[in-house]
Amino acid sequence: MSSFPQFQPVSPYKVNAISELNPLVLGDIRSFLEQDPPRIPIKQITGWTQFQATSGFVAADEQTSSTTYGALTTAGPLLDKLAPGQYLLLYGATCRIISGTGGNANIGPSINGATPTGANTCWVGLFSTAADSSSAMAATVTLSQDGGNTMELLYRVQALPTGSFRNRWLIALRYA
């Protein structure tokens, strides 16, 4: 009598990242899940965090000569009703000097009305009335206020120039 050959794995195969899987295998997994979806919502599975992006944009060109953080005439961008969690913030603006000589400016997020902190503020070099400076910043923050959190970009200049800020944007990506 002949017996069927027995195959033994040389070593267990461990997948460390989804990118290690063959695209055909991923297609098979997708087809399986489409035909027989899980019986519980994926957000109820332990460890799942849903990525959620919220964004704001203000095109208005506004000026300030204040050396303390404040809102511009057309405030913002402002994001409100943000759920508690951990966020990646991405923000920036196009800036230039309106009057005065070269100087610096800062853009920073105000979290729930607090003054922006140095670690989360974006430095902008203002060098000429004829040249724009575009700047962007990334920072992480934890929001813990129940009932909704707010983020608003605030602006200031350092020293003498009057600065102009336009095409201002703020993106908050909740990751946990």
pLDDT in tens, 68-119: 888 998 988 999 988 888 888 888 888 887 776 667 788 888 888 888 887 6
pLDDT beyond 60 at 34: yes
Q: Domain spans of the chain?
A: 52-174
How large is the average pLDDT for residues 22-39? 76
Contact between 83 and 145 under an 8 Å Cβ cutoff? The reply is no
pLDDT above 70 for 3: no
**Integer CA distances (angstroms), 152 to 59, 75, 78, 83, 114, in order:** 15, 8, 4, 15, 10
For residue 160, the cross-strand partners are: none
Count of residues in the chain: 176
Q: Domain 52-174's class?
A: mainly beta
What's the pLDDT band for 4 if we cut at 50, 70, 90?
low
How much is the pTM? 0.67
- Work out whether the CA dihedral 157, 66, 55, 116 comes out positive or negative: positive
Band of pLDDT at residue 152, cut at 50, 70 and 90: very high
Closest C-alpha to 65, from 33, 98, 34: 98
